[in-house]
Amino acid sequence: MKPINSVLFVCMGNICRSPTGEAVFRQKAGDAGLSIEVDSAGTIAHHQGEQADPRSRAAGEQRGYSFKGQTARQVTDADFVHFDLILAADSANLSDLQAACPEEFQHKLKLMLSFIGADENKEVPDPYYGAGNGFELVLDLIEESCDNLINKIKVNE
């Protein structure tokens, strides 16, 4: 694994899954003593400038994560150059990224849950229209994947 100095989390609107990924990874990387730039973006600009969904924030803040300073934005061409690792919430997001990403940076694209178990195709379900514990499930999955990614980064330091 090449050195990871920056990670971008991506979902469709950048208001649920990717800001959660950003908040979780930022906290966990800091706790692990890693200095890694972390950001999030969406494949669409529909929610540009908005804060994370209040349900995402409430679930994350209950576990001690901060969403301070986050506002939704769309992925830019510069992101493909700048970030070392770009993590998509699901296969539709990954497909959108693959279509926009220059060939030389395709290796940076992975699913957010690529670091959980043997199933590299596992996706973070979109909790936006769901009910119940969808936001808690998203946190559980992202926390596990972030822990595993941080362990990989630390081993390769």
**Would you name the residues annotated as active-site residues?**
11, 17, 126
Contact present, 23 and 38 (Cβ < 8 Å):
no
Q: Taking the CB of residue 64, how many other CB atoms lie within 10 A of it?
A: 9
Q: In a 3-state reduction of DSSP, which class is residue 132? A: coil
Q: Taking the CB of residue 10, how many other CB atoms lie within 10 A of it?
A: 29
Which of 70, 73, 23 shows the shortest CA–CA distance to 44?
73
Quote the CA–CA distance of 129 and 105 in Å, as a whole number: 32
User: Exposed, middle or buried, 72 (CB in 10 Å: 0-12/13-18/19+)?
Assistant: buried
> How many CA atoms does the CB half-sphere of 77 hold within 13 Å?
2
